[in-house]
Structure 1
């Protein structure tokens, strides 16, 4: 039996193990991840804040097709460079790296529902694969900013200084316009230092608690926070904005999440109303106070292609957000540190995006 290496979660441990390599059945395909990333939801899974069952996580990255089963389109022949859209809008049974095995391994099986559902996106051969870990989160930003653009914002307030927050701050000029002022609210002072010291600092860099004065409007808000911080971030945004504000709840939420500031609004339902980039325009909830809310899970293939085009157009605008680079063994060590610790300082500096280079052996380019 053929085997390959994978980062496996077992109980409280994270180790590199040898696992059987799958053979694709009808409609299925096997891909070889080339560069994969670790995102905020992955870290929540490592810390036990989510109960997603996949022992091999990872949904951000770029891969090559290795093998296909009968019925797979010829456009996805072995050797093709691809990205996988991790959120199937019509099949909740496929959520890459959450309920099916993800990309942090040398070979990943994609089930027929993902292939037939068009979740495999062909990329140009000229694609810079080293930026692969930024592709899916930048697609999330593309979807968010395309919706927030409807508010014609003078100010874009971003709460959350993870990968999505930083990508949104840098892409805002491109997708909202040069005149939109960006206010980025960080979780820690270390996060603010990273932003201020980087090549593309936002217009204003704040730390949580400093957001006190009303913002010049119209205002659009992007909440890029982990699920245990999203309600508090929403309340902070409501305190400095007014009627007509458009707020996108990108960050996760616990089931049935609510706030007394928006009576009668089920925030989880607001976020669940838009999935996989559908519908577009997104469904928006208008509260009794005139605040407009939307949220979304996942993106469309068009958002992924737009993100790939943006990375190709201006790669150096985003490259430094990949702060840590390693292989499978190094990634297991970092994931263990993230699981047991509660900050994102790894090897002496702040982790924004971890890039994992995966050995695809010599049977592919």
Structure 2
């Protein structure tokens, strides 16, 4: 079998041939069908995360080849499932982060290492290729719920026009948020968003490398009452500072982007940004935790965030994909084989190093082409 591995320390990505263990025993044997390349995969390659898995890939559609006994929820062999990557009982255990990911021909998981909720059946009317978007779309749905409070926001600002940011923007629009604006440093990404119907022409703003974006350039009246921060980790601090400055008093700010343990900002001194996201895990608790903070300029805002998704979020995501297939097909720009992954990741990392010129891309690995 073949797997895509990241060499520790160097971040170099290569395809490695290895052998699957002989015999079955009490294990899950999964055959990945489609795997999405995510921004967190790029963070791991760049060394900005402490994750230890050498095989990446947590956005995945898989087929069950073997199953242990007893099984979870009547799981059937030969059937396609989504991977729900975060263990709700132990958020340190995440497929493709702490546990081996899905960028390989076959994945063996000992029964004792699996957890209830790891596999969610793909709905029968859903194209398996589109199904690979279910996990990031579920993240967007969860984020929108946390930002909604008692009612949907009136003015949502999404910071970042990569796949996660645009999925968040489209999700908010489908849920009924009246005004959704996207800001990004790349004119190419913003143009792609407009041309593909993800956001209205007059609701995009390019953030120049120098001055912060001016709220007056976005809004005739008050600033956004909700902001979703959806950028790569290298831009997280600038993005959050922009959000804190632009937000209207009482706004909610959702941290889709991760922060390092103990990381703080002087504008909201003493707030552990890493911990904010860890307080909401896979849909629990509900209502989700929201942290009130006083910003240095005198206004009060509310921070929230989460890790993982629940089964309900994934089911809701699949229903949205079934209802809007043409819209979401435009989110996928490149379909590659397993052996093409190293050069694809090299391209993404190179483009990421020049954010002002980066195009929009969403790579999906089709394991049947390997």
User: How does the TM-score come out when normalised to structure 1?
Assistant: 0.89
Task: Report how many residues are paired.
Answer: 353
Q: Indicate whether 1:10 and 2:7 are aligned.
A: yes
Q: Which runs of 5+ in 1 are unaligned?
A: none
For 2:285 and 2:199, the matched residues in 1 are separated by: 33
1:340 CA drift (Å):
5.3
Q: Is the 8 A contact 1:81 1:125 kept in 2?
A: no
Equivalent residue in structure 1 for 2:260, among 254, 261, 267: 254
Q: Deviations over 1:229-288 (max 9, x none)?
A: 222211111212232101111111122121121122221111111122211221011113
For 1:266 and 1:244, the matched residues in 2 are separated by: 19
CA separation of 1:123 and 1:164: change in aligned 2, threshold 3 A: same
CA separation of 1:343 and 1:325: change in aligned 2, threshold 3 A: farther
Other-structure match for 1:333: 343
Q: Is the 8 A contact 1:338 1:344 kept in 2?
A: no
Other-structure match for 1:133: 132
For 2:249 and 2:25, the matched residues in 1 are separated by: 54
Other-structure match for 1:146: 145
For 2:112 and 2:256, the matched residues in 1 are separated by: 26
1:228 CA drift (Å):
2.6
Q: Is the 8 A contact 2:351 2:359 kept in 1?
A: no
Matches for 1:8-47 after TM superposition, within 5 Å: 8-11=5-8, 12=10, 13-22=12-21, 24-26=24-26, 28-47=27-46
Q: Is the 8 A contact 1:153 1:217 kept in 2?
A: no
Other-structure match for 2:118: 119
For 1:153 and 1:250, the matched residues in 2 are separated by: 17
Q: Is the 8 A contact 1:172 1:182 kept in 2?
A: yes
For 2:73 and 2:179, the matched residues in 1 are separated by: 46
Task: Name the SS for the 1:350 alignment partner.
Answer: coil
Q: Is the 8 A contact 2:337 2:369 kept in 1?
A: no
Equivalent residue in structure 2 for 1:352, among 347, 352, 361: 361
Other-structure match for 1:212: 214
Q: Indicate whether 1:201 and 2:210 are aligned.
A: no
For 1:315 and 1:222, the matched residues in 2 are separated by: 24
Task: Name the SS for the 1:229 alignment partner.
Answer: helix
Task: Name the SS for the 1:109 alignment partner.
Answer: strand
Q: Is the 8 A contact 1:29 1:110 kept in 2?
A: yes
Q: Deviations over 1:57-101 (max 9, x none)?
A: 000021110111232247212112101110112124521011111
CA separation of 1:343 and 1:321: change in aligned 2, threshold 3 A: farther
Q: Indicate whether 1:301 and 2:311 are aligned.
A: yes
Q: Is the 8 A contact 1:228 1:253 kept in 2?
A: no
CA separation of 1:291 and 1:331: change in aligned 2, threshold 3 A: same
Task: Name the SS for the 2:262 alignment partner.
Answer: coil
1:341 CA drift (Å):
5.6
CA separation of 1:43 and 1:299: change in aligned 2, threshold 3 A: same
CA separation of 1:354 and 1:252: change in aligned 2, threshold 3 A: same
For 2:77 and 2:283, the matched residues in 1 are separated by: 28
Other-structure match for 2:172: 172
Q: Deviations over 1:313-339 (max 9, x none)?
A: 111111111111111112221113334
TM-align CA RMSD: 2.3
User: How does the TM-score come out when normalised to structure 2?
Assistant: 0.88
CA separation of 1:279 and 1:111: change in aligned 2, threshold 3 A: farther
For 2:358 and 2:271, the matched residues in 1 are separated by: 39
Task: Name the SS for the 1:228 alignment partner.
Answer: helix
Task: Name the SS for the 1:317 alignment partner.
Answer: helix
Equivalent residue in structure 2 for 1:285, among 291, 310, 326: 291
For 2:65 and 2:130, the matched residues in 1 are separated by: 21
